[in-house]
Amino acid sequence: MAITIPLGDTERPVQRWALWLAKALPFVVLPHCLWRLPFAAGFEMGTVDPGRPTMPWWAPGYVVGLSVLTEALCLLTLGLVAGWGEVFPRRVPFLAGRRVPPLAAAGPAVVGGLLLVGLFGLQPLAWLGVVDEVGYSNGWWLALARVCVGPAMLWGPIVLALAFAYYRRRRPAAGR
């Protein structure tokens, strides 16, 4: 039995690859979010950093909240392939039923995608030993960290690709 996510009808057809990427994105980033959660409970996941201070009292809530926010932002990218990303929902005061201007959705998506590329951009350099990386007590912890964090490096490029596809699909036709 296939699980379908109701996204609503779009004005123009969404490319299959864009629909697939938007639906896959929360699962691509999920290992990174799950990797963070043990840190909230004080489990160090094999990291070795002798100079690290103790965690402040608010850190567990921050770590859990960051994981929840990360997944929420991934789910928000579904708006780039869904009908609710093209027309404001009825529950939005003053804008209900109006068309979403293409740049109002694509602009923040591009900015967010570029920020994510910048955030995760140094990770491959760390893996190659060009910049310092967090130390681990053994190779198994290092391998687990890379398997969990590695897919999150795709988050920025995926958002940029979805924003580009959204804008191309929604832009006004030439000559109008």
Mean pLDDT of the chain: 88
DSSP string, 18-57: HHHHHHHHHHHHHHHHHHHHHHHTT--TTEE-TTPPPPPT
- Check residue 55 and give its pLDDT: 81
- Report the domain count for the chain: 1
* Range name among 23-32, 44-53, 117-126 with the lowest pLDDT average: 44-53
SS3 call for 97: coil
**Tens of pLDDT along 67-117?**
999 999 999 999 999 988 888 888 888 988 889 999 999 999 999 999 999
Cβ–Cβ under 8 Å, residues 91 and 97:
no
Compute how many other C-beta atoms are within 10 angstroms of the C-beta atom of residue 104. Answer: 11
Q: Tell me if 116 is assigned to some domain.
A: yes
Q: Tell me if 2 is assigned to some domain.
A: no
Q: Tell me if 136 is assigned to some domain.
A: yes
- What whole-number distance in Å separates Cα of residue 94 and Cα of residue 96? 6
Taking 60 as the threshold, does the pLDDT of residue 1 lie above it? no
Q: What is the pairing mode between strands 47-48 and 135-136?
A: antiparallel
Q: Tell me if 3 is assigned to some domain.
A: no
Cβ–Cβ under 8 Å, residues 116 and 109:
no
* Range name among 62-71, 116-125, 139-148 with the lowest pLDDT average: 116-125
- What tokens were used for 157? 């490029």
Q: Which of 8-12, 19-23, 82-86 has the highest mean pLDDT?
A: 19-23
Give the mean pLDDT of 111-129. Answer: 88
Q: Tell me if 112 is assigned to some domain.
A: yes
- What whole-number distance in Å separates Cα of residue 134 and Cα of residue 10? 44
Q: What CA–CA distances, in Å, run from 15 to 19, 66, 103, 111?
A: 6, 31, 19, 22
With bands split at pLDDT 50, 70 and 90, how would you rate the model's confidence at 175? Answer: very low
Q: Tell me if 135 is assigned to some domain.
A: yes
Q: Tell me if 175 is assigned to some domain.
A: no
**Domain around 85:** 16-47+57-170
